[in-house]
Amino acid sequence: MNNSHDKKQQNSRRNFLKSSALASAGFMIVPRHVLGKGFVAPSDKLNIAAVGCGGKADFNIPQAYNNGSDNIVALCDVDDRQSAKFRAKFPNAPYFRDYRKMLESEGKNIDAVIVTTPDHMHYPIAMSAIQLNKHVYVEKPLTHDIWEARQLTEATAKYKVVTQMGNQGSSSNGTRITETMVQSGIIGEIYNVEVWTNRPVWPQGVKSPKDKGEKQPIPNEVDWNLWLGTAPMRDYHEAYMPFRWRGYWDFGTGALGDMGCHFMDVPFRALNLGYPTSVECSVGQVYADFFKEAFFDDVCPPSASIHLKFPNPTSKNFKEINLTWNDGGIRPKLPEGCDYDKVFANIDGGVMFIGTKGVIACEIFGENPKVYINGQLAAVKLPAPKRPNVEGGVNGHQQQWIKACKAGFGTYTSSSFDQSGPLTETVLMGNLAVRSFLMRDAKNKFIGRKKLLWDGKNMKITNFDEANAFVKREYRAGGWI
């Protein structure tokens, strides 16, 4: 096959996928015979770029590649050590440290982008790809800030790209079954939800290297400036990377950001929760000495209890639904007949829906749902889920997105940004409350320890303006979008 014919086929494929991103949900796959003998249908393989090659990427990239059913055409990571295994596996995929250079150089060959980076870089990378009409898969939480989540939600509709957040439990059978049970009315009207996790399982509530004035030489394999990205400049230290960045406010979103998009996804869907109307919290304290509280502004606290209220317009008896989140080892009181060993054997945490007639309890991803009526475990036949199950369940989350990218904009995915964007906003409201709770004035007096009233439409705290600083952070200069 000559070069001219090769180029013609490549252009045809590129144009096909570009148009598919703009197509409606009714798009039909083009049969092979229409394209001619020996021609691989453009819809058969997706050209995928991966930004971030460590941590969760160890699962995301192989699941997307699917043993070669789709293509990995570009790799990007600021740490050559993290990317080594995938550079060896995909030697023909160009490798970059800077995602902007990757998109500029390889954009014409890329159909979709997987973003598996620290939280503070999710938004600029995803938005840069979306603005080039690339489909995107972004790890949870979708963004670091509330404003960023809203922007990505709106950009999805504007640019008509297929999206998925990496809360794979949204593709589980358990989520669908628990959702259907909740909506069946078996426990009456639900007025309270308890959610909790064992996270953090990394250091939080400790003095950071920055606060201690510690620094280390930057490894040759790491581009520290690019790793910091939008975050303020600080000296390198191995305490920040890889993965341990989660507990630092500049990079991560703490235990809530790590697990909230998993656990809160179930009640958020099942109860059709919208924007919360208020949030308040308390956090675990750390003392440096006798009656001497330690202040660690660089890191998330060791534990937190967060209380959100949501409007409940369909109920005559309960104007609001309460949702409480606990992390750092804090767990709610269980109803009679329910115990942690038997009901919540999964150490990651759990969810309880409390209604007028009983309780529905489940583990992460809505797994192992159980019903308690009058303090007794009720024998309940699990319902058929209202939403169709995903092929492969939790492990099919990435391939569900891949197939939707081929079918075009409007094709259903379990955690498209129109769903996961508002969910992420709700999760991050908890962190806004925590950061407000920790705010101090010049005399070290706490000034934000109050119930915060939230105008969801306008993304604004209406009764304590200082807290609005946590809706959208300032980026370090560098042209990240």
Model confidence at 43, in pLDDT bands (50, 70, 90)?
low
Instruction: Assess whether pLDDT exceeds 50 at residue 37.
Output: no
Cα-based distances in Å from 239 to 209, 221, 242, 286: 7, 16, 8, 20
CA atoms of 37 and 217, how far apart (whole Å): 57
pTM of the model: 0.90
Instruction: Assess whether pLDDT exceeds 90 at residue 279.
Output: yes
Per the listing, tokens 């840069």 go with: 128
In the chain, what percentage of residues exceed pLDDT 90?
81
Model confidence at 16, in pLDDT bands (50, 70, 90)?
very low
CB half-sphere exposure, 393, CA atoms < 13 A: 10
**Ranges 196-205, 249-258, 371-380: which has the least confidence:** 371-380
* Paired residues of 95 in beta bridges: 75
Model confidence at 39, in pLDDT bands (50, 70, 90)?
very low
**26: region left, alpha or beta (phi > 0 left; psi from -120 to 50 alpha):** alpha
